[in-house]
Amino acid sequence: MLAELTANAVADALSRRESAPLAEVEAAALARPAALDAIEALRPGSRVKVIAEIKRSSPSRGALASIEDPAALARRYELGGASAISVLTEGRKFGGSLADLEAVRQAVALPVLRKDFIATPYQVFEARAAGADLVLLIVAALDDPTLRELYDLIVELGMTPLIETHAADELERAAALGARLIGVNARDLSTFELDRDLFGRLAPLFPEGAIRVAESAVLSVADVVHYRSSGADVVLVGEALVTGGDPIANLSTFLAV
Ligand SMILES: O=P(O)(O)OC[C@@H](O)[C@@H](O)c1c[nH]c2ccccc12
């Protein structure tokens, strides 16, 4: 079942009156310097890697942090050893914007993920125009033809799709795309409930060679250890880094796993 949150965000994207014409956003996307190689940056290593997220609030957790200077936070993440940065660009529920992404892009040399409810090619061009290197696609929110279309466009623009799943059949759909970077979100987007063991249950179903990303619910080092021992190459961490005091210190404990 498509979560209300996701359905609303997708409906928003589809009905939105875009501020610039498609041709303009396309031109801006093509004029950007080449995207950074996120597959290289997230390649599995002897230690877990972290995608550090910039998120002001969420529908499940409410207000998290005001984050007046996302660029400064991104620099802390980079100094702390993050391998990539995720920027929520959804405005209504998460308090983010494409301006946040642009500011982050200018501040760091790491790959930057556009984290949003992407449903149209327009949003993919917008992501590239703002400097994104990665774009999230949520399998549950998209039918197969749209998933394929958006996936191919992301790749064509030199970016890397991060394919988010939450169930075995969704992982199959991700595999059918040929996805090289696949996440399992521990949070169910329809109930907001967390299932920290979902990643471990789905890990054996990942296609050969795909990079395995555990998303959500990392609040402590113990959670990183749990995901790592279940087969995660990468963990995507939001709340713990925006609310938990010094992100550099927090990252260093996570990266020791
Ligand atoms: O704050 P957390 O529990 O560390 O979670 C981060 C990230 O996984 C979460 O923000 C997220 C995962 N998938 C999403 C899709 C849309 C918006 C947000 C998300």
Residue with token string 């939001």: 238
d(C-alpha 120, C-alpha 18), whole Å? 11
The answer to whether the beta carbons of residues 158 and 111 sit under 8 Å apart is: no
Q: Please report the atom of ligand 1 found closest to the CA of residue 187.
A: 12
The answer to whether the beta carbons of residues 166 and 198 sit under 8 Å apart is: yes
pLDDT digits (tens, 9 = 90+) for 143-177: 999 999 999 999 999 999 999 999 999 999 999 99
pLDDT digits (tens, 9 = 90+) for 16-32: 656 789 999 999 999 99
pLDDT digits (tens, 9 = 90+) for 83-135: 999 999 999 999 999 999 999 999 999 999 999 999 999 999 999 999 999 99
Would you say the ipTM is above 0.95?
yes
Q: Please report the atom of ligand 1 found closest to the CA of residue 117.
A: 16
pLDDT digits (tens, 9 = 90+) for 194-242: 999 999 999 999 999 999 999 999 999 999 999 999 999 999 999 999 9
d(C-alpha 122, C-alpha 111), whole Å? 21
pLDDT digits (tens, 9 = 90+) for 42-60: 999 999 999 999 999 999 9
Ligand 1 centroid to residue 20 C-alpha, Å: 28
- Residue 36: strand pairing partners: none
The answer to whether 250 is a known catalytic residue is: no
Domain that holds residue 145: 4-255
The pLDDT assigned to 1 comes to: 45
Instruction: Say how many domains are in the chain.
Output: 1
Cβ atoms < 10 Å from Cβ of 190:
15
9 Rama sector, left if φ>0, alpha if ψ -120 to 50, beta otherwise:
alpha
d(C-alpha 188, C-alpha 194), whole Å? 6
Ligand 1 centroid to residue 232 C-alpha, Å: 16
Residue nearest (by alpha carbon) to ligand 1 atom 3: 216
Residue with token string 């063991």: 197
C-alpha separations of 3 from 32, 162, 241 in Å: 34, 19, 26
CATH number at residue 209: 3.20.20.70
The answer to whether 164 is a known catalytic residue is: yes
